[in-house]
Amino acid sequence: MTDTYNRPSVAKPVNLGSSAAGLAETWSARVAGAVNDVLVKVARIEGDFIWHNHPDTDEGFLLLSGDLVLDIREDDGTEHPVTLTPSDFYVVPRGVFHRPRSANGATITLFEAAGTVNTGNEGGSLTAPVDRPLA
């Protein structure tokens, strides 16, 4: 991934906060960089996403601004909310069903494997293009 996203001679820092805040669409992450096989993405979100999982990758969430709750479904079927405040980082392990939601809107950074579909195997209208770079 290094060759695709990071070029030492020309790459510039990406401001995650302003990049995320400037996105026109919600729930449609854009790639800001890559660390080995893990992509670093920014997104702007608002409202409820759908329950889904990613069988083959952990998914890290960093809340940049606003409010974010990750509903988590345990292996035994019980569910509980994980509430983040700005600068909080949380990892949803691979395979674990989760539902992100933001009552009043948020900007976030995501960390996950390249090729990850935002809705997992659930499909639906919230499914976004995979691994789109920032403009």
Other beta carbons within 10 angstroms of residue 39's beta carbon come to 26
Task: Establish if 103 lies at the interface with its own copies (CB under 8 A).
Answer: no
Structural element, H or E, at residue 17: helix 16-21
Task: Establish if 33 lies at the interface with its own copies (CB under 8 A).
Answer: yes
User: How many residues contact its own copies, by CB under 8 A?
Assistant: 48
Structure-token pair, residue 46: 């608002």
Binding segment for its own copies among 22-30, 31-39, 43-51, 121-129 (CB under 8 A)?
A: 31-39
Smaller CB distance to its own copies: residue 109 or 119?
A: 109
Q: Is the dihedral of CA 39, 70, 126, 54 positive or negative?
A: positive
Nearest by Cα to 96 from 40, 55, 41: 55
Task: Establish if 50 lies at the interface with its own copies (CB under 8 A).
Answer: no
Task: Establish if 113 lies at the interface with its own copies (CB under 8 A).
Answer: yes
- Which residue is listed with tokens 């995501």? 110
Contact 61, 68 (CB under 8 A): yes
Binding segment for its own copies among 22-30, 43-51, 89-97, 123-131 (CB under 8 A)?
A: 89-97
CA distance 92 to 81: 12
Shortest approach of its own copies to residue 64 CB, angstroms? 7
By rule CB under 8 A, what string of x and - marks binding of each residue 5-24 to its own copies? xxxxx-xxxxxxxx------
Binding segment for its own copies among 22-30, 36-44, 124-132 (CB under 8 A)?
A: 36-44
